[in-house]
Amino acid sequence: MKVFIFLASIFLIITTIFSNDKGIKNMSYNELNQEEQRVILHKGTEAPYSGKFYEHKGDGIYTCRQCNTELYKSNTKFNSGCGWPSFDDNIDGAVKRVPDADGRRVEIVCASCGGHLGHVFEGEQFTANNTRHCVNSVSIDFKGTDSYKKAYFAAGCFWGVEYHFETLPGVVSAVSGYMGGHTENPTYEQICSKTTGHLEVVEVSYDPKIVNYETLVKLFFEIHDPEQPNGQGPDIGPQYLSAIFTSKKDEREVIKKLANELTNKGYNLATKLHEDTVFYKAEDYHQDYYQRRNQQPYCHAYTKRF
């Protein structure tokens, strides 16, 4: 019996060692080079200003180098001047905070595999979120939007539309902007004059391996009142009308199918279907408006219709 207990104890110790050394022993994870092991497995730190993602720009998702978990959206990255990639927010549930061994700082690790990412700091006033995730470049990878698709929705004030689409799994980014008018590079002030013909639109970049176009259109119909013909909620005007922009035949068929379902349920839809046109990104202060202020949309609420 004692021999059995002894062998069981040895087995447990070996299993623990192997499970903790995930980057090397667990074949479901990516193989790590020596520097990546030093940082990710043994909580090291790369030299400041040396990482490949320090000044990196581009639309997409930053992922865990060890297990490929999606950690940060590119629109949360900012230049803090600290020498390491900085993010002011993470994808919900993707990053875990733990007390650092130094007893002073807060370490951040991948919530899926426990790989070391860096540290998190608050109260520095760099962004409206007042948070800085200081991340080692060797701890992350990047997936650009080349592998993603785009969809364009107008459903009233783009702040609320953007807010709801960014909560949908598979959506990489939601960007506020303008479409459908006759003025090049319109400003928000011009849009508000109601003379350019543009609608407030959100450009949704999504991973078709995770979410399909039909799911996006369903959410569109469920986060605003598609029956209101003159705007959305208290926002009245041509820039706030309900519309979807696409020139793709398969997408138009999806829209018509879902619109027919709602019509058969008694809805009198005011939503218009427009051909694709140029999308102009809105000013920076419109992007992630509610998230950066920790507020809820005032004229958009989810209502199940399907």
Count how many domains the chain has.
2
Q: How confident is the model at residue 292 (pLDDT cuts 50, 70, 90)?
A: confident
Are 131 and 180 contained in the same domain? Answer: no
* pLDDT tens per residue across span 92-102: 899 999 999 99
Catalytic status, residue 64: no
Tell me which of 110, 134, 192, 299 is the catalytic residue.
134
Where among 90, 110, 144 does a domain terminate? 144
What pLDDT was estimated at residue 306? Answer: 97
Give the residue ranges of DSSP H helices in the chain. 2-20, 22-25, 34-36, 158-165, 188-192, 213-222, 249-264, 289-293
pLDDT at 13 over 70: no
What pLDDT was estimated at residue 5? Answer: 40
Answer whether residue 276 is part of any domain. Answer: yes
Mean pLDDT of the region 146-161: 93
Are 178 and 69 contained in the same domain? Answer: no
Positive or negative torsion for Cα 151, 154, 156, 157: positive
Are 122 and 235 contained in the same domain? Answer: no
Domain that includes residue 79, residue range: 22-144
Are 183 and 113 contained in the same domain? Answer: no
Q: Which of 240, 87, 238 is nearest to 155 (CA)?
A: 240
* pLDDT tens per residue across span 216-255: 999 999 999 999 999 999 999 999 999 999 999 999 999 9
What pLDDT was estimated at residue 10? Answer: 44
pLDDT at 11 over 60: no
Strands, E assignment, the chain: 60-64, 70-73, 77-78, 86-87, 95-99, 106-110, 116-122, 131-135, 140-144, 149-155, 171-179, 199-206, 231-232, 235-236, 242-245, 272-274, 280-281
Are 170 and 133 contained in the same domain? Answer: no
What pLDDT was estimated at residue 212? Answer: 97
Are 280 and 211 contained in the same domain? Answer: yes
Residue 24: both structure tokens together: 């090397």
Enumerate residues 6+ apart whose C-beta is below 8 A from 261. Answer: 306
In this structure, of 83-87, 145-149, 176-180, the range with the lowest mean pLDDT score is 145-149
Answer whether residue 251 is part of any domain. Answer: yes
CATH number of the domain at 124, please.
2.170.150.20
Are 137 and 229 contained in the same domain? Answer: no
How would you classify residue 220: left for phi > 0, otherwise alpha for psi between -120 and 50, otherwise beta? Answer: alpha
What pLDDT was estimated at residue 242? Answer: 98
What pLDDT was estimated at residue 18? Answer: 42
Q: Which residue type occupies 159?
A: W
Residue that wins the pLDDT comparison between 7 and 81: 81
pLDDT at 24 over 70: no
How many C-beta atoms surround the C-beta of residue 241 within 10 A?
A: 20
Where among 144, 172, 195 does a domain terminate? 144
Q: How confident is the model at residue 2 (pLDDT cuts 50, 70, 90)?
A: very low
How many Å apart are CA 77 and CA 74, to the nearest integer? 5
What pLDDT was estimated at residue 75? Answer: 87
* pLDDT tens per residue across span 265-282: 999 999 999 999 999 999
Q: Which residue type occupies 132?
A: R
* pLDDT tens per residue across span 33-71: 999 999 999 999 999 999 999 999 888 899 999 999 999
Where among 102, 127, 144 does a domain terminate? 144
Mean pLDDT of the region 170-186: 93
Mean pLDDT of the region 74-95: 94
Catalytic status, residue 157: yes
How many Å apart are CA 67 and CA 127, to the nearest integer? 29
Are 140 and 154 contained in the same domain? Answer: no
Answer whether residue 8 is part of any domain. Answer: no
Answer whether residue 300 is part of any domain. Answer: no
Are 63 and 129 contained in the same domain? Answer: yes
Are 36 and 167 contained in the same domain? Answer: no
CATH number of the domain at 227, please.
3.30.1060.10
Answer whether residue 4 is part of any domain. Answer: no
pLDDT at 163 over 60: yes
Residue that wins the pLDDT comparison between 163 and 298: 163
Tell me which of 64, 67, 110, 157 is the catalytic residue.
157
Are 140 and 69 contained in the same domain? Answer: yes
